[in-house]
Structure formats: structure tokens, C-alpha cells
Amino acid sequence: MFFVRTESFQQFLRYYPVISAIIAIHIILFLGVNVSEELRLLLRGVNVYITEAGEYWRLITPIFVHIGLMHFIFNSFSLILFGPALEVMLGKTKFILAYLTTGILANVATLFLAGPWYAHVGASGAIFGLFGIYLYLLFMRPELLDANSRQIIVLIVIFALLMTFLRTGINIYAHIFGLLAGLAMGPLLFTHFKR
């Protein structure tokens, strides 16, 4: 089953170097932005700073920044659970491309759809991008998933979408457009993939 983690810590680092690196960045930046308000202000996505001041790094940096402890834990844990299978299937380069592209597209959607002073942080857009890739596999390449994993994907996506609309303080645009970006990238990522 795709989403059961049985590796030791050392094995996880060896088998999934990209996810391990992303989690390390999460930890470093979580500590950094909670110690330095200046760093927090510099790295979060703020639409008006992107459009008026040309601070385009703010389309990327929010993917790795978390301020609240539960936000940090939830997104990092989601990546640890759902990222490894895709890192193995896609390889390091394609996984990085998929993760960054879906996260950036989620932030671009936020830029165009949210207000000018809307501010946001978090890996949710990229994580929903992974969910979108799994949905593509579920509908178009089901032979690449075992039956248990297919059921888990359906349940997780339904739960994640429900929480998107039921909880406050959620960047709805990033969640929805991250998911759609992952769905759209699926054919590009798995065109020549064979198992």
C-alpha cells in the first residue's frame, strides 16, 4: 500500500531525499519566521507586494513557510504520507517540478482571485497538487494504484475539500487551483510511465 510508512528515519532520508529536504526547509523556516518577524514579512505571499513592488519570490516562498504549529505539522505530515510514492514513481527531478509548479500555480491563482492585501503562507497548494496528481492516476491510470490506495485517495480528497470550505483561515484558491494544477500535470508527468 502506497501510504503506509514502515521505514526507519535513516531509510526515509535515503529513499526520499527530495521530501526529506522539503521537510528540512519547513523546519528551518518555521523556526526562522517564528523568531524573526522581519523574515516572516519577507517570505509570506502578499498580493500587493507582488503586483506593485515586483516581489515575485512571494509566489514561491509561501510554499515552504508555516507560522502556526498545527499548520506546520499538518502540511509536513501530509507530505510525509503522500509524497514518497510520487517521488519514487516520478523520480527526483519530475517530483520537484510537479511540487513547485502546482504550488506556484496555486499562488498565482491566489494573486489573481484574492484581494490586493491578501497574505498567505503554507504548502497546502503544492500538497493539493499532489492530491490532483493522485486523482489523475485514479481516473486515468488506475493500474498504477492498488485497491486500498485508490480508496484512501478518494477519502482524503473528499475530506480535504470539505475542510477547505468548513474551516476558517484557509486559502481556498490555493487548495482548489493546486488540485486542478495537479490534475492537469498528470498526463505530462505519466505519459511514458510504465510499471
60 contacts: CB under 8 Å, gap ≥ 6:
100, 103, 104, 107
In the chain the first and final C-alpha atoms are separated, in Å, by: 15
Looking at the 3D structure of the chain, how many domains does it have?
Answer: 1
Instruction: Decide: 75 and 126 in contact? Cβ < 8 Å.
Output: no
E-assigned strand segments in the chain: 45-46, 119-120
48 within some domain: yes
195 within some domain: no
Active site residue 149: no
Q: Would you state the pLDDT for residue 19? A: 98
Per-residue pLDDT of the chain (195 residues; tens, 9 = 90+): 678 888 999 999 999 999 999 999 999 999 999 999 999 999 999 999 999 999 999 999 999 999 999 999 999 999 999 999 999 999 999 999 999 999 999 999 999 999 999 999 999 999 999 999 999 999 999 999 999 999 999 999 999 999 999 888 899 999 999 999 999 999 999 987 665
Q: Would you state the pLDDT for residue 194? A: 64
Q: Would you state the pLDDT for residue 169? A: 86
Among 26, 66, 120, 175, the active-site one is: 175
Instruction: Give the CATH number of the domain where residue 118 resides.
Output: 1.20.1540.10
What digits encode the pLDDT tens for the residues 94-126?
A: 999 999 999 999 999 999 999 999 999 999 999
Nine cell digits for residue 126: 503544492
2 within some domain: no
Supply the range of the domain harboring residue 92. Answer: 9-190
**Rounded to two decimals, what is the model's pTM?**
0.94
150 within some domain: yes
Instruction: Decide: 45 and 104 in contact? Cβ < 8 Å.
Output: no
Instruction: Decide: 138 and 82 in contact? Cβ < 8 Å.
Output: no
Longest dimension (CA), the chain: 49
Q: How far apart are CA 66 and CA 125, in angstroms?
A: 13
What distances in angstroms separate CA 153 from CA 145, 181, 186, one per listed residue? 10, 17, 15
162 within some domain: yes
Q: How far apart are CA 48 and CA 99, in angstroms?
A: 25
Among 20, 78, 124, 149, the active-site one is: 124
CA 126 to chain centre: 2
108 within some domain: yes
Residue carrying the nine cell digits 509536513: 76
166 within some domain: yes
Active site residue 20: no
